[in-house]
Amino acid sequence: MFPIVTEHLIPPFDLYATSQSLTLYSSALWPCIVLLVLSTALMGLFTALALFAAFVLLRKGLRRPPVFILFVVVVVMYASAALHWATLLFNVIGYYDVAQAYAAQLKCQCTTDEAVPIVAISPGTPSCSLSGFGLPGAAHGLAVCAPTIILTLNVVLGDAIVWWRVWVIWPRSLVVRGACVILLAATLGSGIIDSMDSCPKAAFSALVVSNLTDIPAGSFYQSDLFGLATSILSLANNMVATILIGCKAW
């Protein structure tokens, strides 16, 4: 999903291809930096709010089930936000490392006899190719898989909170309970399947530049039937819950 590499750059090793790749990854680096800075600021605000909420809930005592559940929700949502921030950091490091690698290769090509070696004269890897840079496969796997998993977690938690409000004002309705369980279970199930689709085994293996731009189907619920189903089911959760609350208020 993002260019975090662990193996050498691949042919062609000509100046044009290298300079184009350098421009591409350098241009992509700045939006990632801006996103990381904004996320860091929001993460600081969220940290303050989470600490305040945790303090209030701890003062009320965690022996009461509603208070304990709210405390767990706060902890889980904060943990997911922290993990998402970590993936953004990995993305910035990955883009920067690849851009640096291409810059070093371009400099090498301009100062050696491999200035325009579209076809390698001698067998083996040209001396201007680089190896051993980038983040390991585990970090790349985290950057690919974590965002969709976090999205699924937050979608289900958000829908569950909405249904909790409905449950409070419809405490004895079996129809409401049935709709709640069915819709939440369907949303969770489709979200899990989509998360699995967006997290191929190859994400955790060593990657080369040629397949770094390949975004797995299902990432952020895109290009995947179960991702579309999760989005529709989440919308259905909120619509049904809002209608039920409105009926009670009316």
Could you read off the pLDDT of 213-248 as tens digits, one per residue? Answer: 555 655 767 778 898 999 999 999 999 999 999 988
Range of the domain at 163: 137-250
Q: Is 2 helix (H, G, I), strand (E, B) or coil?
A: coil
Last residue of a domain, one of 116, 135, 154: 135
Q: What is the pTM of this model?
A: 0.70
pLDDT above 80 (res 156): yes
CB–CB of 229/166 below 8 Å? Answer: no
Last residue of a domain, one of 80, 115, 135: 135
Q: What is the pLDDT of residue 14?
A: 64
- Together in a domain, 214 and 127: no
Q: What is the pLDDT of residue 129?
A: 59
Q: Give CA–CA dist 118/1, Å, rounded.
A: 28
- Together in a domain, 103 and 158: no
Last residue of a domain, one of 113, 135, 157: 135
Residues in the chain: 250
CB–CB of 10/94 below 8 Å? Answer: no
- Together in a domain, 166 and 78: no
Q: What is the pLDDT of residue 72?
A: 92
Q: CA triplet 174, 176, 179: central angle to 5 degrees?
A: 105
pLDDT above 50 (res 12): no
- Together in a domain, 163 and 227: yes
User: For the segment 70-125, what is each residue's pLDDT rounded down to a tens digit?
Assistant: 899 999 999 988 988 988 888 788 778 777 777 777 777 777 655 444 333 334 44
